[in-house]
Amino acid sequence: MKIQRIDHVGIIVNDLSAAKAFFLDFGLEMLGEGEVQGEWVERIIGLQDVKGKVVMLRTPDGDANIELVKFHTPSDENGIQRPLANTLGIRHIAFAVEDIEALVTKLEKKGAGLIGEIQNYENTYKLCYCRGPEGIIIELAEKINQRDGSSG
């Protein structure tokens, strides 16, 4: 018995179209979408009367998948949360990127917000956190070339 890889990360959203557009604009690729309901999903996730829609996305290299889920029923009474980076639990998804400054500018034009600042970590990575729709936090990490100090 061994773990092979992480198959996907699931994100529950209220506005599926906005979350889907955010990740597509970010650069992920569409794998598919569909409806989920019935006893099989209810038995997996431990909820009753499940009706929802799922969108599957992947990174361009095909190594990582994101599952966006909109539950029509049952609904979450707490609504959208905007947790801080130090809130307990799973808090962000990190992506290796190229040209972090250009990507942040692109995301900001689409309504995402830089949480702090782009920082150079020990001349190894440029790092930052951005908040997308519904409080989703993504971390961007651009590897800095050690020989000439450039990114990429």
What is the predicted pLDDT for the residue at 87? 87
pLDDT at residue 48 is higher than 90 = yes
Superfamily covering domain 93-143: 2,3-Dihydroxybiphenyl 1,2-Dioxygenase, domain 1 (3.10.180.10)
In residues, how long is the chain? Answer: 152
pTM for the model stands at 0.87
What is the domain partition of the chain in residue ranges?
9-73, 93-143
Q: What does the pLDDT look like over 109-136, one tens digit per residue?
A: 999 999 999 999 999 999 999 999 999 9
Q: What does the alpha-carbon distance between residue 109 and residue 6 come to, in Å, rounded to a whole number?
A: 31
